[in-house]
Amino acid sequence: MIKLKSEKDLETMRIACEITRDTLDYLKTQVKVGVTTKELDRLAYNYITSRGAKPSFLGYGGFPATICTSINSVVVHGIPDDTELKDGDIISIDCGAYYKGFHGDAARTFTVGKVNSKVKRLIKITEQSFFEGIKGLKAGAFVGDISNRIQTFAEKNGYSVVRELVGHGIGKDLHEDPMVPNFGRAGSGVKLNAGATIAIEPMINMGDKRVQFLSDGWTCKTKDDLPSAHYENTVLITENGVEILTI
């Protein structure tokens, strides 16, 4: 069942989403050659807690860190460690903040140093696919409308869409109903009503759509070892449109 949010709920949830957004904006300034993903995680923890919030991911399902740090062919859920970022890398950072009972969730893919133009295009198209997905989105639309727009745009541009992982509802729980795939048929899935809050998160691969999960139980990477990009925002469905809470 989709949990609709009241205006009072949204007052608090907007703050959680602002903290999430600001954390990612801060981390963008810290992504550089030589920094370790563990250091980025430490900075994220310190920043989120300095704003009076808690990291949504830390301990969630046993996840051991504040942020997910996914480099190059890692799609999502990379665990921060002593790996140093290198010139030419890309890194997707997924971040959540929990504030007074509500979560915010967002992700961005950042470049490190001088990055290949083809990989930069992947990042751009992944971000644009999110905005394609929310075109015309308002109360009464179906989840499949979002899914189909994202898939159509990504595939039209020569990329593939990950199937094993999807977006989700969000609020008092980090993951709520409904599931929000990045692929599917327009008009399918559940109908969205005003007050629904969902995390829409295209995960787009440069090569094949197939992925593999590593033995740590979290890390998901492309099977062909080609780059993947991730872009996510928490959004609110309204009667007349959509409000992006993490921008």
For the chain, domain boundaries:
7-244
CATH superfamily for domain 7-244 = Creatinase/methionine aminopeptidase superfamily (3.90.230.10)
Per-residue pLDDT, 98: 98
Per-residue pLDDT, 207: 98
Per-residue pLDDT, 5: 98
pTM metric for this prediction: 0.97
Per-residue pLDDT, 39: 98
- Tell me: the pLDDT tens digits for 162-188? 999 999 999 999 999 999 999 999 999
94 vs 103: CA distance, rounded Å:
13
- Tell me: the pLDDT tens digits for 192-202? 999 999 999 99
Say if residues 47 and 127 touch (Cβ distance below 8 Å): no
56's tokens: 């949504």
For 94-124, b/e burial (b = at least 16 CB within 10 A) is bbbbbbeebbbbbbbbbbbeebeeebeebbe
234 vs 243: CA distance, rounded Å:
9
Per-residue pLDDT, 175: 98
10-residue mean pLDDT series, the chain (247 residues): 97 98 98 98 98 98 98 98 98 98 98 98 98 97 98 98 98 98 97 98 98 98 98 98 98
